[in-house]
Structure 1
Amino acid sequence: MSGEGTRRGARGLAVDLGVLAIGVFAWLSIAGERLNGQMPSPPWLFDLDMATGLLALPLLWLRRRWPTQAAVALIVASTYAETVAFPLVVMLFSVVVRRSLRTAAWVFAGAFAAGVVYMFLRPGEMSVPGSLGFSLALLAATAGWGMFVRYRRQLQARAAQAERDERERARQRARDELARELHDMLGHRLSLLSLHAGGMEYRPDAPAEELTRAAGVVREQSQLAMRDLREIIAILRAPIGELPQPTMADLRALVEEARPAMRIELHERVEGEVPERSGRTAYRIVQEALTNARKHAENAPVEITVDGQAEDGLNITVVSGSGRDTGPGSGHGLIGLEERAALAGGRLEYGSTADGGWRVHAWLPWTA
C-alpha cells in the first residue's frame, strides 16, 4: 500500500471512530434526559427505544458501502425511536454525497415522513408543529451540507481529471516533437547515405581513398540511422524520457558531418549565447536545408550564414546553387520548418534564386 493510501485509510478510520463516538454520546444524552425527565408511555417503549439506538450505532460503519440500505432501516426505526436520530442524519448526509440525487430525495422524504409517523405514535412529548419544523430544518440543513460536499468533490474530481488530461496532452506534444526531431535527423542520415552510395555507384573508378572514405561514411551513417530509428520506436512505445536535443553549439558539428559529401561554407556571426529553443530551431532549419540541397541540388555549393544578437534576434540563411535533382520532394519538410519557426515565435521564407538555386531564410526571436 502506498503512503497516500495509508494516510487515507488512517484518516477514514479516525473519522469513523469519531462519528461512532458522537453517536454513543448522543445515545447517552437522550437516555439521560429521559431518565431525568418525562419517560415515554408505555414504559416498555423506553427500553425498545434504547435497544434500537444501540443496534443502530453499528450501521454507521456501513455509511460508505451501503448508505441507502442503512438509511431505509433507520427510517423505519425512527418512526418510534428517537435515539436513531443522529445515525439517520449521518446516513442522509452519506446518501446525498454518494448516491444519485433521486435516491437522496426519496431518503429525505422518507425521513420526514417517519418524523410525522413518530408524532402520531408518541404524541404529547412535544408540539407537533414545533417538532415537524425542527425535523424539517435539521433534514434540510443536512441535505444542504451533503450537496455542498458532493459538488465540491465533483469539482475537485473534474479539476484532477483536467490536470491529468493536460499532462497527457503535454506528454503527447513532447512525444510528437521528439518524434519529429528524430524524423528530421533520420532524413538527414538517409540523404547522406543516398549521396555517398550514389557516388560509389556512379564513380567505380574513383581513387581508392575516396571510395574508402565514402564507404566509411555509409557505414557510420547507417549505424546512426539505426540508432535514430530505435529511438523513434522507443518514443512511440513507451513514455518519453529525457533525450538530448541539439543546440546552436552543435551546428558546426552538423556541417562538418555533411562536408565530406558537399561543398559548404559556414559563416557564423553570433554575439552571446543563443537561447535553447531558438538554437534548436536554427539547427533543425539548417539540417533540413542541407537535406533538401543533397536531394535537389547534388554537387551544388551551399552557403550557410547565421548571425544575430539579443537586440536583433537570430537570422539563418541557407543558399544552395543549382545542381542535379536526385529525387522528388513532398514539400512536407519546408512546411514543417514553417511550423517549427512559427512555434518559436519566428518566421520562415524560401524560394528559388535568380541563378536557379534555392534560398531558405529564417528569423527567430532571441527570447524564444
Structure 2
Amino acid sequence: MTRPAPGAAERLLHCVLPGDVTAPAAPSGGNVYDRRVCAALPAAGWRVRAYALPGSWPRPDARARGELARCLAALPDGAVVLLDGLVACGVPEVLAPEAARLRMAVLVHLPLGDETGLAPGVARELTARERRALHAAGAVVATSRWAARRLVALHGLPADRVHVATPGADPAPLAPGTDGATRLLCVAAVKPRKGHRRLIDALAAVADLPWTCDCVGGIRDNPDYVSQLREMADELALGDRVRFSGPQVGAELEDRYAAADLLVLASYAETYGMVVTEALGRGIPVLATAVDGVPEALGRAPDGGVPGLLVPSGDPAALPAALRRWLTDAELRQRLKIAARERRAMLEGWQMTTHRLAEVLERLRRAPGVAA
C-alpha cells in the first residue's frame, strides 16, 4: 500500500528501540547511547518519534516480530527510520518487505554473533540473519571504527554504507579516588561477555595485596550466572572484597566513580566500551583487555602516553600481572593518572556523536533511492 510521503522539508525520524531502553534495571551502553542520541537529535534539526518494542531481541517470539512488522508497515513511504540493531538484525524477514519504501538505517552496538557463550550454530544463524538485515538497510551506523571494519569484513557490506558515530563522554569532575590504588571499579552488565569470572580469578591471584572491587552493572538477565560468581568469590575467600552492587545510575553511579582509583574491564568482546571513556572523563586510569574497540576508546594522551594498561585477552596470566603492577608500582600509577587526565581533555561529547549521526540520516533522507 502506498502512503503519502512526509513533506520534503520535514526532518522526522522514527526510532525503533528495545522495550527496555529506559529501564533502570537495564542501564546498558547501548540503551544509554539510544537515549542520548534521541534526546539530542532535535537540536540537530530532527523531530524524533520513538517506538520502544518489548521482546526477547534479537530472537523475538512471533508476537514481538508481528509488533515490529506492524510498526514499520504503518510508517509513510519515504520515512527515515533508525532501528537499534538488537531489534533489527535478528529479523531480516521483517525488514526486507519494507526496504524498498522506507529509508532505514540500522545502528549496530555489537554484531549479534560476537556475544560470548553462544552455541556455534546459534552464532552462525544470528550472523546470517544480521547479514540479510544489514543488506536490506540503506545505511549502517557502527559505534567505533573497529566495528565498522568488522561489519564490512563480516557481511561484505560496501564500506561507503557503513558509518561511524562513536559514543560521547560527558564532562565530569575529576574523581578524588580513595587511596590512589586499592579501590577497583568494574562497570559492566554481569554477563559472560564482560569477563567477571576471569576478573575474579585475577583478583584471587593478588589476594595477598590490599584492594576491594566494586562490580556495578545489571544482574537481572543472568541471575544464575551472578549466583555462580558470588559463590566463586566466596570459595576464593574474596566474598568481603568483591561486591556485586547491581545497576547504578545517576548520583549512585557518580559516587562509585568518585571513589574509584582504577577501572577494570575484562571483556571478551566490546565494540567500543563506553565505560572506558566515562572513567577517563573523570581522570581514572583503565585496566582492560585489548579486545575489539577498547584500544580505540582508551586512546592516547597528547604526548602519546596510554592512560591505562591493555592486556591480551588470550593470556590468562596477563590480567593478574597487570593488577599486581598497578597495586605495587606507585610510579606507574602516577604516570597513568597523568595520562588519564590529559586524555580527559581530548574526549568528544555527545554533540559530536549526534552531529555524525545526523549527517548519515540527512544523506539517507536526501538520497534518490534508499541507500545512503
TM-score w.r.t. structure 2 length?
A: 0.22
Q: Which structure has more strand as a fraction of its residues?
A: 2
Which has the larger Rg?
1
Greater RCO (Cα-Cα under 8 Å, separation 6 or more): 2
Q: Which structure has more helix as a fraction of its residues?
A: 1
